Structure 1
Amino acid sequence: MASSTSTTTPSKHAFTQRVQDVRCPKSDINALILDYLTMEGYSMAAAKFSKEANLQPQQDDASIRSRQEIQHYIHIGNFEAAIESLNEYDPAILDEDESLHLRFCDCS
């Protein structure tokens, strides 16, 4: 039985036009760029960009390094070290975020 909902995809031209019609303030774009640099661990680039764009840095260098260390341990599968680093960074986070705690319990 055929579905009554349309599954047609808008044409590339229509999509391109819609994208061009969106007006995004430069401050929003700058905040998005700063968020990306921070989350990916480019602390020096984030610091320079935030200064140039007159934005407040989202995290200090120590926080970014801690996040990178935790991510590294997760990527290599060393979940015990990740949990230890996470507890050093924020001792209450696993107690407060049950879903995060359960994810670590499933992995280790």
Structure 2
Amino acid sequence: CALVFVGYQAEGTFGRRLRHGLSEATFMDGSRTVNVPIRLEVAVVEGFSGHSDRVQLMNFVASMEPRPQRVILNHGEESKSLDLATGLHKRFNVDSRVPFNLESIRLV
């Protein structure tokens, strides 16, 4: 069996750990811990992305009418996402957030 990653795997996720050679996964089965060996080949296809860079994203927000009141950034390296959120807030006075992995956000 093989698992092929064609996209980004965020820090702290199971996918990131698999991509970097995880050999055993630990799960809870009721009150007991179960260790499961990973017996598959993991491959990565690089360059399979259509993501915009920071300048393109800032220009996209600049072109929006009406301008959004809130922007939630939920994909990307944490430092880059925080930098973009700060830039959006400073330039457009937009409420911008970068949630933690698995964090819930109330939208209304």
The TM tier, using the shorter chain, reads under 0.3
Higher helix share: 1
TM-score (structure 2 length as normaliser): 0.25
Structure with the largest fraction of strand = 2
Higher normalized contact order (CA 8 Å, seq sep 6+, divided by chain length): 2
TM-score by length of 1: 0.25
